[in-house]
Amino acid sequence: MARVRLSRERVRGELVRKIEELSGQNLLACNQCGKCSAGCPAATVMDLLPNQVIRYAQFGLEQVLEAKSIWICASCQTCYVRCPHGVDLSRIMEALRVIALEQGDDHLRPQELDPDEVADMPQLAVIAGFRKYTMMGG
């Protein structure tokens, strides 16, 4: 039987390529040890644990773009510090947010915010929210 040689391009889908391009991270460097999830201060409120987010991304599963976890990530770098392979998950989460926003639905809808509440918010919080959760910041 002839040996089939698979190239990286042949097995890697468009979503995987885009995540790696935007994040600068090699998704396959993660071996699913779970240290990122074990140390994540926000893991208890995530629908997918950090290592599950990477697993979905490794397989190019579009459902990862619908996960609440990508919006909950605080980019605190705990996962990166704990990762034995130096995978910077916060960069992957950011890439996933960018891709989700590019697909057309802002996570935060500024027009739905109560103007009185916005007036009481620290200006930095409003600007940071728009940058992270909407295409207005991009």
Q: Which of 73, 76, 80, 78 is nearest to 96 (CA)?
A: 73
For residue 52, count other CB atoms closer than 10 A to its CB: 18
Tell me the pLDDT band of 127, cut-offs 50, 70 and 90. Answer: low
- How far is Cα of residue 128 from the mean position of the Cα atoms in its chain? 16
User: Does pLDDT of 131 surpass 80?
Assistant: no
Q: 66-123, pLDDT tens digit by residue? A: 999 999 998 899 999 999 999 999 999 999 999 998 887 666 666 777 888 777 777 7
User: Quick check: is 7 in a domain?
Assistant: no
The total number of residues shown for the chain amounts to 138
User: Does pLDDT of 136 surpass 70?
Assistant: no
H-helix or E-strand spanning residue 69: helix 69-72
At 107 the pLDDT is: 62
The residue segments making up the domain with residue 131 are 107-138
134 and 99, same domain (yes or no): no
Q: 16-66, pLDDT tens digit by residue? A: 999 999 999 999 999 999 999 999 999 999 999 999 999 999 999 999 999
23 and 59, same domain (yes or no): yes
